[in-house]
Amino acid sequence: MKYTITARILTLSVLCAVPALAETIEGSVEFHGPAPAVQIHGNRLKGVWVRIVKGAPEQPGSADHTVAVKQTGCMYEPHLAAMQAGNRLTIESADPVLHNVHAFAGGMTLFNRAMPGPGVISFDKGTAVATGKWEGILRLKCDVHGWMTGFVGVSRNPYFAVSGDDGAFRIENVPPGKYSLAAWHEKFGERVIDVSIQPGRNEQVVFHYGQKLTEAKPH
């Protein structure tokens, strides 16, 4: 009897340790043709927001997770950040000059806060970004310094990434299924492709930009 009970406990432990099936979307963003004044290394494009736009259920993000943007040298860093709706967004100024954070969701002002010097402001329960009422591109602008512009991509699911210096991106823990995957760049607009995630196999994708420049419209 003692042996039988031990065997059942071991079997249960093994079953509980098996994770749910989830795979990874890996890829890159390429630019072809004469390179304009954007961040391109070789033919790879930095600063592209890639996310699942169809096929994944909406999931609110946690306010315990903070996405931080910094004003430094009268520039936004990072120039493009990404967050899940429901996360906390903080904006820090390291500059000893007056800035304001004027955030646009499409053509609508989402919030406008003055920053007279170094400090941090936090947008959480009081903003549409945190409560999950907005998704798409949030454009940050300083009305005092017209060249200061930054972007925050707000997704209503956790499946997104921003391409790095080498143009590469990686979206993890994606359940098997069929999805639409979109890439957005501030100058070149949006590209959408369909992907099918198979159990036990990571998906490799490449987005292509180039030639004609188009101004991206916030979604």
Query: Which residues constitute the domain of residue 178?
Result: 20-210
Total residues found in the chain within this entry: 219
Whether 134 is covered by a domain: the verdict is yes
Whether 12 is covered by a domain: the verdict is no
* CA triple 186-112-95, angle to 5 deg: 80
CATH of the domain at 201: 2.60.40.420
Whether 205 is covered by a domain: the verdict is yes
How many domains does the chain fold into?
Answer: 1
Whether 199 is covered by a domain: the verdict is yes
Instruction: Read off the pTM.
Output: 0.83
Check residue 106 and give its pLDDT. 83
Whether 172 is covered by a domain: the verdict is yes
Taking only the tens of pLDDT, the chain with its 219 residues reads 333 333 332 233 333 333 457 899 999 999 988 877 788 888 899 999 999 999 999 998 888 899 999 999 999 999 999 999 989 899 999 999 999 999 998 888 888 989 998 989 887 666 666 666 778 999 999 999 999 999 999 999 999 999 999 999 999 999 999 999 999 999 999 999 999 999 999 999 999 998 654 444 444
Whether 158 is covered by a domain: the verdict is yes
Check residue 102 and give its pLDDT. 93
Check residue 18 and give its pLDDT. 34
Which of 135, 168, 158 is closest to 47 using CA atoms?
168
DSSP 87-122: SEEEEEE--SS-EEEEEEETTEEEEEEEE-SSEEEE
